[in-house]
Amino acid sequence: MRVSGSSGSLMEERASGADIRIVNSPLDGVALAARNPDRKIIFPGIGFEATAPAVAASILMAARQKLDNYLVLAGHKTMPKAMEMLAAEPAASIDGFICPAHVSAIIGTDAYLPLAERHHIPCVVTGFEPADIMQGVEMLIRQKIAGEAKVENQYRRVVKRDGNSKAREVMSQVFIPCDCHWRGIGIIPGSGLKIRRSYARFDAEKALPVKVEEQEEQKGCRCGDVLKGKIQPLDCPLFGTQCTPENPVGPCMVSSEGSCAAYYNH
């Protein structure tokens, strides 16, 4: 809601009178469409492999209910290609990857094997609690000291080697990989998901005649360098002045999980 788009945020649009609602699940969007057949309901599909299956399921449900007013603006991204890009970035000099827990619950730990092998970088799928993170870091350090580059799983209580095949099946029924723009980084080939042609009637980009002009990155924003580990958030000239959690300029300041927001808050 707070992320700045080309001409403001959804929060600002809502304050100016647009009907923008927060739902708990994409299926709430489908239910809203069913209750309001004379209105178009647009769900912004964002997030990684952890959220994409539920959005795909909402499209399948809308198809089953024969709804023609439920649309998804697909902006999903996938992790392995982005990690591959970081691994190949010499300036990032990555010693190890703490692999994302929820994403790994879907794609499985085996998804990181090519990354570990090709770039000889240790990978540990790690859970969310402080003790999980500490154990994950300890596992990475042990690999590093031993000169190994394996994929290990600290979050075994949730993540399996092959992930969740049902969720991946639903996802690939509806979405197809595409090249994708990452704010602060640029295009990473094959790192996004777009709606398949067979479900194009649910694709907001196709169904609505809205043209969004390409925006230049905000002047002075160093999110790309923060994301690649080239600089610390404090090195960005906008940190804490023009860019704060209340008024984020770049993506790293938006959610509490963002590096810049974490630096700012703690």
**Secondary structure (3-state) at 177:** strand
- Alpha carbon 104 to its chain's center: 13
DSSP at 38:
T
> Which CB sits closer to ligand SF4, 105 or 243?
243
Indicate which single residue of 37, 105, 226, 229 sits in contact with ligand SF4 (rule: CB under 6 A). Answer: 226
Contacts with ligand SF4: how many residues (CB under 6 A)?
14
Closest distance to ligand SF4 from the beta carbon of 104 (Å): 26
Determine which residue in the list 236, 255, 257, 265 makes contact with ligand SF4, applying CB under 6 A.
236
Q: Closer CB to ligand SF4, residue 77 or residue 222?
A: 222
Smallest Cα–Cα separation from 74: which of 187, 166, 178, 226? Answer: 178
**Smaller CB distance to ligand SF4: residue 28 or 217?**
217
Of the pair 177, 220, the CB lying nearest ligand SF4 is at 220
Q: Supply the minimum distance, in Å, between the C-beta of residue 46 and ligand SF4.
A: 17
Output phi, psi for 187, to 5 deg.
-80, 130
Binding mask 192-221 for ligand SF4 (x = CB under 6 A): -----------------------------x
Closer of 12 and 217 to ligand SF4 (Cβ): 217
Q: Which of 138, 129, 200 is nearest to 158 (CA)?
A: 129
Q: What is the DSSP track for 115-169? A: HHHHHT--EEE--SSHHHHHHHHHHHHHHHHHT---EEES-TTT--TT--HHHHH
Is residue 57 close enough to count as binding ligand SF4 by CB under 6 A? no
Asked if 182 touches ligand SF4 (CB under 6 A), the answer is: no
Phi, psi torsion values for 191, nearest 5 degrees: -100, 10
Based on the shown chain and the rule CB under 6 A, indicate whether residue 4 belongs to the binding site for ligand SF4. no
**Is residue 249 near ligand SF4 by the rule CB under 6 A?**
yes
- 223 closest CA partner among 174, 185, 266, 265: 185
Checking DSSP bridges between strand 76-77 and strand 70-74, what pairing results, if any?
unpaired
> 96 vs 250, which CB is nearer to ligand SF4?
250
Question: Rounded to whole angstroms, how far apart are CA atoms 60 and 50?
Answer: 17
13, 252, 256, 266: residue in contact with ligand SF4 (rule CB under 6 A)? 252
Angstrom distance (rounded) from CA 185 to CA 34: 39
Q: Which residues pair with 182 in a beta bridge?
A: 186
Out of 41, 105, 188, 260, point to the residue binding ligand SF4 (CB under 6 A): 260
**Min separation Cβ 221 and ligand SF4, Å:** 4
User: Applying CB under 6 A, which residues contact ligand SF4?
Assistant: 221-223, 226, 233, 236, 238-239, 243, 249-250, 252-253, 260
